[in-house]
Amino acid sequence: MTGWREFDQNPVSHSAAHHLTTIQFLLDEFGYARVSDVARHLGITRGSVSVTLKGLRQRGLVVEDEHKHLGLSEEGIRIARGIHIKRILVQTMLRDVLGIPDDLAEQDACKIEHLVSDYTAEAISKFLQKLSGIESAESISKLFDDLKKEMAAAEISFPSEEAQKFSDRLEQRLTEEEDQ
C-alpha cells in the first residue's frame, strides 16, 4: 500500500484546488477576482492567499495583471473546471447511489475532488449516466459489463464534452433542489 504517497505528488493540493475553483467562480460570477476577494470567499487571510498564489503563478496556472486582478491560464481553467466537475460527480454518486445525506455528500466530495483521477471521474460520469436509464434489476449487470468495456477502450481527456454537459445538468438539478 503505497498509494497514499501519491497524495504528495498530486498536481494540486486541497488548498490549491480551492484557490483555483474560487478564482474561476469569482470570474464567472463578478467578472474579476482579487486576492482580497479570494481570501473573503475562502475565509482565510490575504497572506495565506498571496503565498499560495505565488506557487500557482510559478506553475503557470494563475496570472495577475498590473491592476492585481487575477486570472487563470488555459491549464488553470482546465484544472479548475475538472475539479469542479469531479466534485459534482462524486457528490451525486455518494448521494444518489449510496444514499449519503446531501450535506455529508457535499463535504466528502469536497475532500476528495482534487484527488480523484481523470480516469475514475470519467468512469463515474459514465456510470451515473447509464444508471439514470436503468429500468430493471437485470439490466444492472449489463450496465457494469458495458461500463467495463467502455472504460477499457476509452482514451481519457477529462473533462470530456460529454462529462461536462452531464455535470452541468447535475449541477442545475442540485441548485434546483437546494432552492426548493
Distance, CA of 155 to CA of 53 (rounded, Å): 32
Cell numbers describing residue 10: 498530486
Selected from 44, 77, 147, 151, the binder of another protein by CB under 8 A is: 44
The Cβ-side half-sphere exposure at 36, using a 13 Å CA radius, reads 2
Please choose, out of 36-44, 86-94, 109-117, 130-138, the segment that lies near another protein by the rule CB under 8 A: 36-44
- Contact status: 10 vs another protein (CB under 8 A): no
Distance, CA of 94 to CA of 10 (rounded, Å): 23
Selected from 13, 73, 129, 164, the binder of another protein by CB under 8 A is: 13
- Contact status: 52 vs another protein (CB under 8 A): yes
- Contact status: 15 vs another protein (CB under 8 A): yes
- Which residue matches cell numbers 449519503? 100
3-state DSSP call for residue 165?
helix
Selected from 30, 32, 36, 172, the binder of another protein by CB under 8 A is: 36
- Contact status: 111 vs another protein (CB under 8 A): no
Which CB atom, from 52 or from 91, has the smaller least distance to another protein? 52
- Contact status: 51 vs another protein (CB under 8 A): yes
Distance, CA of 39 to CA of 36 (rounded, Å): 5
Selected from 10, 30, 47, 169, the binder of another protein by CB under 8 A is: 47
Q: What is the 8-class DSSP label of residue 115? A: T
- Contact status: 57 vs another protein (CB under 8 A): no
Which CB atom, from 35 or from 90, has the smaller least distance to another protein? 35
Please choose, out of 35-43, 73-81, 85-93, 103-111, the segment that lies near another protein by the rule CB under 8 A: 35-43
Number of H helices, E strands in the chain: 9, 2
Long-range contacts, 29-33 (Cβ 8 Å, 24+): 32/69, 33/69, 33/70, 33/71
By CB under 8 A, the count of residues binding another protein is: 16
Q: Binding residues for another protein, per CB under 8 A?
A: 13, 15, 35-36, 43-52, 54-55
